[in-house]
Amino acid sequence: MPADSPPSRIATLKRQALRLDMLGAHQRAEPLFSQVVAIVEAHPGEGDFDLVEALNDRARCRFNGGQLGLAVEDYRRILQLLDPRDDGTLVAITMDQIHRCVEGARLRAATACLREPIALMIRCARTGRAVDETPGQSRLRTLARRLLARGRIDLGARLMQRWLDEASLRGMSLDAETLADLRSHALALLELHRPYAACEFFRSIVYVQLRQRSDDALSISGALRDWAGCLCATGQHRSARETLALAESIVGKV
């Protein structure tokens, strides 16, 4: 098969795009997936499976990169190509993906008003210390802030999560200002399209709240609601509903 034939070109582009997508370089991978879609459309085969596969790859990349509107367009095209009688499972999966995109867009719109405060928080990179925080832990949290401010989101999130894990392990008492600051970091990760990292953060905040503020039902309920919203953003809708129900039950007992 010639190296410049459509199948060879598709295989090369797809291999490059998948590698970039797995590395998190979604913006660089998306144009390559789009080239694959264009080639498949220009050289249709006997059925629509190749186009469905190409559109699904691009939709997944767009979803991972936060391009939810464009991802929905691809998934809706896929629905038009599928036959519900023969591809019922694929239809159900595609509809679920559309739902995830719509829910993610809704959550993003709901937090749009927080963008400026969050951006200011990252730029300022406050260095307030938690109660009982050691100098080493203070430096770790400061470094995490600086990494976030410089766009090193994933590394900054990991270091901040490490700080919070150490705080929980040592049973450190975190004051209200520090808890509010940690919540702002989690919201920043959510706004920057890192819902899974944010979800781990919100979960840790809930544990801290339960450990040291067991008599403050409103604070615990608020932390649970934050966690539920993040679970929804990652597609864990059942867990999100259960967490939200727990938050409402706590408030109902006040």
Looking at residue 30, its pLDDT comes to 94
d(CA 207, CA 56): 38
Q: Which pLDDT belongs to residue 82?
A: 87
Ramachandran quadrant class, 171 (left: phi over 0; alpha: psi -120 to 50; beta: rest): left
| pLDDT recorded at residue 105 | 80
Distance between CA atoms of residues 226 and 209, nearest Å: 12
Helix-then-strand count for the chain, H and E: 12, 0
Q: How far is CA 127 from CA 137, 139, 164, 193, in A?
A: 11, 9, 15, 24
Contact 159/147 with Cβ under 8 angstroms?
yes
Are the C-beta atoms of 149 and 188 separated by less than 8 Å? no
Half-sphere exposure of 37 (CA within 13 A, CB side): 17
Q: How many CB atoms lie within 10 A of CB 67?
A: 20
Domains of the chain as residue ranges with CATH: 6-110 (1.25.40.10), 112-252 (1.25.40.10)
**So what's the pLDDT on residue 118?**
46
pLDDT of residue 29: 92
Judged by DSSP in three states, 161 sits in helix
Q: How far apart are CA 178 and CA 156, in angstroms?
A: 17
CA 68/CA 73 separation, integer angstroms: 9
Report residue 116 as tokens: 């400026």
pLDDT in tens, the chain (254 residues): 455 678 888 899 999 999 998 888 888 999 999 999 999 988 877 668 889 999 999 999 999 888 989 999 999 999 998 888 877 888 888 999 998 888 888 777 766 554 554 444 444 434 444 456 677 777 887 787 777 777 777 777 778 777 777 776 776 777 777 777 778 778 877 777 778 878 877 887 787 777 665 567 777 888 888 888 888 888 888 878 888 888 787 766 54
pLDDT of residue 113: 53
